[in-house]
């Protein structure tokens, strides 16, 4: 992922970009616009989010003064309503080792993979709720999983809304539309 000699060009920030629906996983809906803003920043070569959504790694272009880096990131994140704390010392060293491995770090559009995982988990939860009340055949469960998963995926990736209540409302409405076709789901 990164030249080991370039570690001085990497800044690591603790950020609150975890997923509400799936604890321990980063939120693609929240992270994607922030990573896009960072990628457009002339001083930034690359920006990454860790899988947990708790860290952002920024690889700076050559010649960017360390004093400028932290202030610029804090400013960009503050504009998005986020606070960030730059890692230092042992925490930085440990996270930098993790980042250098390349495993579990996502750039820009790659955070859509996190959203796809989130969509599948939400769809599974919804189907479990339905099947707890209405017995369905395995084929119908599979069809429902696919339909709900696609609705959730579409809402998270193609129509992202960073407002959690609005996102939940839209997803609920689309899933109800999918469910409203009784001939697809009724036990016959």
- Band (pLDDT 50/70/90 cuts) for residue 179 is low
What average pLDDT score do residues 124-134 get?
93
What average pLDDT score do residues 99-113 get?
92
In this structure, are strands 105-107 and 55-60 parallel, antiparallel, or unpaired?
A: unpaired
Q: Which CATH architecture has domain 8-108?
A: 2-Layer Sandwich (3.30)
Q: What's the pLDDT tens digit per position in 47-87?
A: 999 999 999 999 999 888 888 898 899 899 999 899 999 99
Task: Describe the crossing of helices 164-179 and 138-153 by its angle, rounded to 10 degrees.
Answer: 140
Distance, in Å, from the CA atom of 96 to the CA atom of 144, rounded to the nearest integer, reads 42
Q: What mean pLDDT value characterizes the chain?
A: 85
- The domain spans of the chain are 8-108, 112-185
pTM of the full structure: 0.78
125 has pLDDT over 60: yes
What average pLDDT score do residues 169-185 get?
56
- 80 touches 94 (CB < 8 A): no
Residue 69, both tokens: 């880096």
- Tell which residue, 46, 54, 62, 6, has the closest CA to residue 26: 54
Task: Describe the crossing of helices 112-133 and 138-153 by its angle, rounded to 10 degrees.
Answer: 140
Angle, vertex CA 102, rays to CA 101 and CA 104, nearest 5:
110
- Tell which residue, 160, 152, 153, 140, has the closest CA to residue 176: 152
């Amino acid at each position: 992922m990164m030249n080991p000699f370039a570690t001085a060009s990497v800044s690591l920030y603790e950020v609150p970009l975890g997923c509400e629906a799936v604890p321990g996983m980063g939120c693609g809906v929240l992270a994607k616009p922030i990573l896009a803003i960072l990628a457009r920043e002339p001083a930034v070569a690359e920006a990454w989010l860790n899988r947990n959504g708790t860290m952002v790694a920024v690889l700076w272009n050559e010649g960017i003064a360390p004093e400028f880096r932290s202030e610029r990131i804090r400013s960009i994140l503050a504009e998005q309503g986020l606070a960030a704390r730059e890692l230092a010392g042992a925490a930085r060293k440990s996270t930098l080792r993790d980042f250098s491995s390349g495993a579990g770090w996502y750039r820009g559009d790659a955070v859509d993979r996190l959203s796809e995982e989130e969509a599948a988990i939400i769809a599974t939860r919804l189907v479990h709720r339905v099947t707890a009340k209405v017995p369905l055949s395995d084929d119908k469960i599979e069809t429902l999983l696919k339909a709900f998963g696609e609705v959730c995926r579409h809402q998270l990736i193609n129509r992202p809304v960073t407002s959690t209540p609005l996102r939940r409302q839209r997803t609920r409405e689309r899933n109800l539309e999918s469910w409203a076709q009784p001939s697809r789901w009724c036990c016959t």
